[in-house]
Amino acid sequence: MLLVPLLAAGLSGTAAGTASASGLSPTGLPATAVATASAAAIPPICESRLPKEAGDTIRLIDRGGPFPYPKDGTVFQNREGLLPQKPRGFYREYTVKTPGLETRGARRIVTSGSEGRNGMYYTANHYRSFSDIDFTC
């Protein structure tokens, strides 16, 4: 399994998914293999452990809006390659408000196609890492 050697080598996150001009990652493996391994290792997070504002955003997503920011519901391109590779337009991003900030901040919920709650991811650090939201705990 490709994931084990990558983790053993200490390679994860965006560094492992970065391709050179040759199409190889810093490990010398094809960049697509590294991105796929990274996407397979997305850790879960219980919905109950998310910030209160994430729950507010999830409820808005479930209702179809209205959303507080114009960028909410726009295409998330997964340029970082941390989520499973899908066609453009598959992922959508939504802002999770951060108390005390006037800007959108770094927190987001990313949804997957029409998978509803079966395909929601949370990032607290503007796409540097993701957690797969688990609604069963």
How much of the chain is in helix, strand and coil states, percent to nearest 5? Answer: 30, 20, 50
Annotated catalytic residue, options 53, 80, 102, 126: 126
Beta strand spans in 66-107 (E): 74-76, 91-95
> In this structure, what token pair is assigned to residue 33?
């293999």
User: Of 80, 93, 102, 115, which one is the catalytic site residue?
Assistant: 93
Token pair of 70, please? Answer: 């114009």
Tokens read off for 127: 């796409």
Instruction: Based on the residue annotation, tell me whether 126 is a catalytic residue of this protein.
Output: yes
For residue 47, indicate whether it is catalytic.
Answer: no
User: 19: exposed, middle or buried (C-beta count within 10 Å: 0-12, 13-18, 19+)?
Assistant: middle
According to DSSP, the residues that pair with 133 across neighbouring strands are 45
> Which residues are catalytically annotated?
93, 126
